[in-house]
Amino acid sequence: MLNISGNTENVEKKDIIESIINIFNEKEDIYGDAYIGYPLYSIEYTSDQLICDLAIVSNYGFFVINIIDTEILNYGKIQDELYNKIESKLKRCSFLVKRRQLSFSINVCSYSLIEMEKIDDYPIFISIEDINKYINDTLENIDNQKVDMISSGLQEAQGLNKKNYHENARDGSKALLIDEMNDIIEKHDCNQMNAIMEDPIGIQRIRGMAGSGKTVVLARKAVELHTVHPEWTIVVTYYTRTLKNQLYNLIDKFYMTRNDGRHPDFNKLKIMHAWGSSSSDGLYYDICKNMEIQSYTFYQAKRKYPLASRPFDLLCAEVLDCGKEFVKLYDCILIDEAQDFNDSFLKLCCKVLGSENRLVYAYDELQRLNELSMDSPEKIFGFNISKDTPLVTCYRNQSRVIVTAHALGMGLYREEGMIQIPNSTDVWQSIGYKNDENIVEGLPVTLYRDRSTSPDFLNADPNDLIKIEKFDDSDQVYNKLLQSIKANIVNDSLNPNDIMIIDLDGINASNNLSKIQLLINSNFDEYGDIHIHQAGSTNPEDFFRNDSIVYSTIFRAKGNEAYYVYILNAQRCIETLSRTKDRNALFTAITRSKGWVRVYGYGSSMEKLCFEFDKVKENDYKLFFKKYPTEEDRKKMVILNKDISKDDSEALTNTKKYIDENQGNMEILLKELFGEEYKRRLRDFVVDDEQ
Partner 1 sequence: MMNSNNKKFLQKFSKDYNNIIKELYEKNMIRDSKMHSVLENDKIVEISRSGRENESNILYDKHLPIEKVMDTLLERKEYNILLYDRSIIQYEFIIEDGKIIKERLIFLKKHNYLWSKEEIIDKDMYNFEIDWFEEELGIPVVIRVDYDINNHIDIVHPITHMTISNYDECRIPMMGSLSLYNFINFILNFFYNDSLNFKSNFEENDITITENEKKRVHFEWM
- Which residues here bind partner 1, judged by CB under 8 A? 239-241, 275, 277-279, 297-299, 506-507, 510-511, 514, 517-518, 521-522, 533-534, 536-540, 542, 553, 555-556
Q: What is the DSSP letter of 468?
A: E
In the DSSP assignment, the letter for residue 383 is: S
What are the distances in angstroms from CA 355 to CA 38, 228, 352? 26, 20, 9
What is the 3-state secondary structure of 195-255?
HHHCCCCCEEEEEECCCCCHHHHHHHHHHHHHHHCCCCCEEEEECCCCHHHHHHHHHHHHH
Size of the chain in residues:
691
Tally: H helices and E strands in the chain: 25, 22
Q: Least distance to partner 1 from the beta carbon of 477, Å?
A: 18
- The answer for residues whose C-beta is within 8 angstroms of residue 518's C-beta and 6 or more apart is none
Q: Least distance in Å: CB of 508 to partner 1?
A: 9
Q: Which one, 275 or 596, has the nearer CB to partner 1?
A: 275
Give the SS3 label for residue 388. Answer: strand
The gap between the terminal CA atoms of the chain, to the nearest Å, is: 62
Shortest distance, position 241 Cβ to partner 1, whole Å: 6
CB of 298 or CB of 624, closer to partner 1: 298
- Closest approach of Cβ 509 to partner 1, in Å? 8
What order do you get walking across the sheet with 46-58 strand by strand?
3-6, 32-42, 46-58, 61-68, 107-112, 124-125
Q: What's the min distance (Å) between Cβ of 342 and partner 1?
A: 14
Compare residues 58 and 569 and give the one whose CB is closer to partner 1.
569
CA distance readout (Å), 690 to 174, 482, 483, 605? 43, 33, 33, 14
User: Considering Cα of 180, then 184, then 189, then 193, what sign does the dihedral take?
Assistant: positive
Using the CB atoms, write b or e for 270-287: b if 16+ within 10 Å.
bbbbbbbeeeeebbbbbb
279 versus 691: smaller Cβ distance to partner 1: 279
Question: Rounded to the nearest whole angstrom, what is the least distance from the CB of residue 100 to partner 1 in the complex?
Answer: 44
Measured from the CB atom, the residue of 215 and 552 that comes closer to partner 1 is 552
Shorter beta-carbon distance to partner 1: residue 284 or 448: 284
Give the Cβ contact number of residue 490 at 10 Å.
Answer: 12
Residues contacting 416, CB < 8 A, separation 6+: none
Supply the minimum distance, in Å, between the C-beta of residue 411 and partner 1.
25
Q: Give the DSSP per-residue string, 101-162.
A: EESS--EEEEEESS-----TTS-EESSHHHHHHHHHHH-----HHHHHHHHHHHHT-TT-S-
Identity of the residue, 518 or 666, whose beta carbon is nearer to partner 1 in the bound complex: 518
For every residue of 389-423, which 3-state class applies, written as one string? EEECCCCCCCHHHHHHHHHHHHCCCCCCCCCCCCC
Question: How many angstroms separate the CA atoms of 179 and 167, rounded?
Answer: 10
Strands 445-447, 623-625: pairing is: antiparallel
Quote the CA–CA distance of 559 and 214 in Å, as a whole number. 11
The phi and psi torsions of 637 (rounded to 5 degrees) equal: -55, -45
Least Å from the CB of residue 518 to partner 1:
5
C-alpha to C-alpha distances, 154 to 163, 225, 258, 341, 396, nearest whole angstrom = 20, 18, 10, 35, 23
CB of 236 to partner 1, least distance (A): 17
Question: Smallest gap, in angstroms, from Cβ of residue 657 to partner 1?
Answer: 10
Closer to partner 1 at the Cβ: 312 or 563? 312
Helix or strand run (H / E) with residue 38? strand 32-42
Provide the CB-side half-sphere exposure for 429 (13 A, CA).
8
593-602: strand order across its sheet = 466-471, 593-602, 562-568, 499-503, 549-552, 532-534
E strand segments, 482-608: 499-503, 532-534, 549-552, 562-568, 593-602
Q: How far is the CB of 300 from partner 1 (least distance, A)?
A: 10
Q: How far is the CB of 528 from partner 1 (least distance, A)?
A: 9
Between 536 and 603, CB nearer to partner 1: 536
Name the helix (H) or strand (E) containing 58: strand 46-58
Between 100 and 646, CB nearer to partner 1: 646
CB of 381 to partner 1, least distance (A): 25
Task: Give 277 or 294: the residue with its C-beta nearer to partner 1.
Answer: 277
Q: In this complex, which beta carbon is closest to partner 1, that of residue 165 or of residue 555?
A: 555
How near is the Cβ of 638 to partner 1 at its closest, in Å? 25
d(CA 182, CA 159): 10
Nearer to partner 1, 376 or 654 (CB): 654
Q: Which is nearer to partner 1, 62 or 275 (CB)?
A: 275
Is 88 or 517 the residue whose CB approaches partner 1 more closely?
Answer: 517
Beta strands 3-6 and 61-68 are: unpaired
**Residue with smaller CB distance to partner 1, 555 or 685:** 555
Nearest distance from residue 524's CB to partner 1, in Å? 8
Nearer to partner 1, 651 or 668 (CB): 651
Minimal distance, residue 504 CB to partner 1, in Å:
13
**What whole-number distance in Å separates Cα of residue 309 and Cα of residue 341?**
13
Q: How far apart are CA 252 and CA 267, in angstroms?
A: 13
- The CB-of-123 to partner 1 minimum distance in angstroms stands at 58
In 450-592, DSSP assigns E strands to 466-471, 499-503, 532-534, 549-552, 562-568
